[in-house]
Structure 1
Amino acid sequence: MSDLQRLLKESWTLVEEHQDKLAGYFYARIFLKQPGIRDMFPATMDVQRARLLGAIVTAIQAVDDPDRFDEHLRSLGRDHRKFNVVPQQYEVVGAALIESLRAFAGAEWSHEYDQAWRDAYDVIARKMLAGAEADCNPAWWHAEVLHHERRSRDIAVMTVKPLQQLDYRAGQYVSVESPAHHPRVWRTYSIANAPRANGTMDFHVRALGAGWLSGALVRRVKAGDLVRLAAPMGSMTLDRRSNRDMVFVAGGTGLAPIKALLDELTSFNRTRWVHVLFGAKDRDDLYDLESLRQLASAYPWVSLVPVCSHDQGWGGEEGTLAEAVERYGPWKDHDFFVSGSPAMVRSTLRKLNQMRVPHTRIRFDAFSDH
């Protein structure tokens, strides 16, 4: 661990238990210094505060991984073009972040901590700005909803067509906004298909509790509506140079990027076995099981294992996805792709670590927005 990462992690422990108050104070400082920035954010800030804290933790954890850190931040800079951010606003945000950390850490805050955060934020801002400046694409794409289908009590699958060409790779995700229902509320959703000649894109959406946008996308959006899509992000993509067999572990609507990867594989794969473990709480949440069964029937290199964690006697595998991964192992020389809720991803990664699967062979995305 570098000195910078040690200082960042040490100082974060001083404020970690005050995360909600810290985030509220942070935004208050930004809006006080530059009131115009408030118009970039939704009326209700509860979810936005949580997203800020997640971004801070991600940056701290990635600071000792230069390659991942660089690409993640450049992608983040491209994504932030949707807010029409200008360089001066990065300075306002950086100053507010340091002031907030200093205020909540109290007397234990040191000059060394202060400088470490300044240095880290400077790197973050420069890489994000570089990513934004190098991007020649639109800040966002308007897309028409062509088809909308409810698949379960709280899940819908919708197909959209961007009005301009939007290039991406299978396994990536985009931020989505519904201007008609919740303007300025952006949430990330994986694209559930590989790029198509007609440019259409599928999304799998679950309505989450009080989630304004997710609820609108599941229950209110209809064919003919327009949504907006931001720049593609994410690195859970196929490495065509690898000849290893693969294991796809998908929980709930985390199936979306797995479907996209499978879609890409059908265009060229002949030699790599692909094991798909698709899990949900109960049989009703296995919303795309029939499509997966058809895929496994059409392509002999696909094996499918559906899993339910809370549906005793449903007729298939029972337990968590992590438990199913262990039962169907060992996986001596496989590439792993894991996608789902943060809790499901964490438990699966812990199990893979116990099974001594090298972290270099694991790609994952955790979707708290799905």
Structure 2
Amino acid sequence: MGPFEELITQLYEVLFTRHPALRGLFPGEMAFQEAHLAQAFRYLLDRLDRPEEIAETFTRLGRDHRKLGVRPAQYAAFEEALRTALRVRTGGRGEAGLEEAWVRMVRCGVTAMVRGAEAALHEPPFWRATVTGHQLVGDDLAVLRVVPHETFRYEAGQYTDLESSLLPHTWRPYYLAGEPDAAGAVELHVRCTGPGGVSEALVHRTAVGDEVRLGPPKGNLTLGEEPAGDLRLVAWDTGWAAVKALLQEVDRRVRTSPGHGVRRVRLFLGAPDVAGLYDTEYLAGLERRRPWLSVVPVTGGAPGGEGYGRLAAAVTRAAAP
């Protein structure tokens, strides 16, 4: 464990000792949370000369953190714990200037988070939802359909953090796979990559009728304004969920805008093997009905290595004159 991680461990130890009631806002296993905070600290340190970028990012974080039950007053307890942790890690010999520099840095992010939380008071901090569909695809992939209890608006290409009732205070991000159906259900594709965690709970221990919670939709993998020219979409495995949403959005624009110029859309869809290509019936039907769509399946290799290389090579070949 490096000095940075040691500081964070010490910070949470102080925080929970002095404010034990705050422990209930965090997951039982803190490793992911500590890594998340380390990432936030590094983000701040790398962008001290870009305060506008920090403000934009941490404003979004403040909106998102409402789902955790965090209140503005609790940030003061965090600052107090940070000061103490810094003194402990330096054996009480740290310079006052260093401590104040850390506090000013953190306050820069916290101020934006409070602003973001206050600006989002018009919307729920999270949305309760009921599982209405749970389809296993192979041994470790599930396609879920969940119906939010309140209106849940999002753009194609966005994702949501999801909490299972089996793992309170533990949230993981999943892309939303298309528009809600007539019943208001939204679709999520979840791959279990190991034992424990939210994905394992959703794939192997979740059934129709169970309840989950959705965080505010976020992300900018969206079409934005009307795109011009051809469109290439690239996805590996469950990345298909986000691309499915984008394809549905393109289809909606083509159908509802008479003056819309039908572009050519090419989808490069990768998986370790042919069996890993799922939802193929839907995709084949869409390709038959929409002459502007062509699908290029790419199989072979593991994610993150040879598989991504094959996928990138296929896209590059298609782009060559």
TM-score (norm 2): 0.84
Q: 2:140 is matched with which residue?
A: 154
Give 1:266 shift.
0.9
Residues 47 and 328 of structure 1: CA distance in aligned 2, closer, same or farther (over 3 Å): closer
Residues 222 and 83 of structure 1: CA distance in aligned 2, closer, same or farther (over 3 Å): same
Give 1:93 shift.
2.1
Off by >6 Å, runs of 4+ in structure 1: 105-112
Give 1:36 shift.
1.0
1:221 partner letter:
T
The answer to whether the Cα contact below 8 Å between 2:301 and 2:310 also exists between their aligned partners in 1 is no
The answer to whether the Cα contact below 8 Å between 1:194 and 1:261 also exists between their aligned partners in 2 is no
Q: 2:258 is matched with which residue?
A: none
Aligned pairs (5 A) from 1:185-196: 185-196=170-181
SS of 1:184's equivalent?
Answer: coil
The answer to whether the Cα contact below 8 Å between 1:251 and 1:278 also exists between their aligned partners in 2 is yes
Structure of larger gyration radius: 2
1:36 to 2, 6, 21: 21
Root-mean-square deviation over aligned CA pairs: 3.0
Tell me the number of residue pairs that the alignment of Structure 1 and Structure 2 aligns. 310
The range that moved more, 61-70 or 83-92, is 61-70
Q: Aligned partners of 1:258, 1:50: CA distance in 2, in Å? A: 29
SS of 1:277's equivalent?
Answer: strand
1:220 partner letter:
R
TM-score (norm 1): 0.74
The answer to whether the Cα contact below 8 Å between 2:287 and 2:295 also exists between their aligned partners in 1 is yes
Q: Aligned partners of 1:142, 1:307: CA distance in 2, in Å? A: 37
Q: 1:93 is matched with which residue?
A: 78
Gapped runs of 5+ residues in structure 1? 1-15, 312-317, 333-370
2:202 to 217, 225, 249: 217
Aligned pairs (5 A) from 1:1-150: 17-61=2-46, 69-97=54-82, 99-100=84-85, 114-135=99-120, 136-150=122-136
The range that moved more, 156-165 or 89-98, is 89-98
Residues 157 and 66 of structure 1: CA distance in aligned 2, closer, same or farther (over 3 Å): farther
The answer to whether the Cα contact below 8 Å between 1:158 and 1:204 also exists between their aligned partners in 2 is yes
The answer to whether the Cα contact below 8 Å between 1:308 and 1:319 also exists between their aligned partners in 2 is no
1:83 partner letter:
L
SS of 1:233's equivalent?
Answer: coil
The answer to whether the Cα contact below 8 Å between 1:307 and 1:319 also exists between their aligned partners in 2 is no
SS of 1:320's equivalent?
Answer: helix
1:206 to 165, 168, 191: 191
Residues 114 and 273 of structure 1: CA distance in aligned 2, closer, same or farther (over 3 Å): farther
Residues 68 and 28 of structure 1: CA distance in aligned 2, closer, same or farther (over 3 Å): same
Q: 1:167 is matched with which residue?
A: 153
Q: Aligned partners of 1:158, 1:137: CA distance in 2, in Å? A: 24
1:298 partner letter:
R
Aligned pairs (5 A) from 1:241-252: 241-252=226-237
The range that moved more, 59-68 or 246-255, is 59-68
The range that moved more, 109-118 or 238-247, is 109-118
Q: Aligned partners of 1:198, 1:26: CA distance in 2, in Å? A: 45
1:292 to 283, 296, 302: 283
Q: 1:321 is matched with which residue?
A: 308
Give 1:185 shift.
1.8
Gapped runs of 5+ residues in structure 2? 255-260
Residues 330 and 243 of structure 1: CA distance in aligned 2, closer, same or farther (over 3 Å): farther
Q: 1:361 is matched with which residue?
A: none
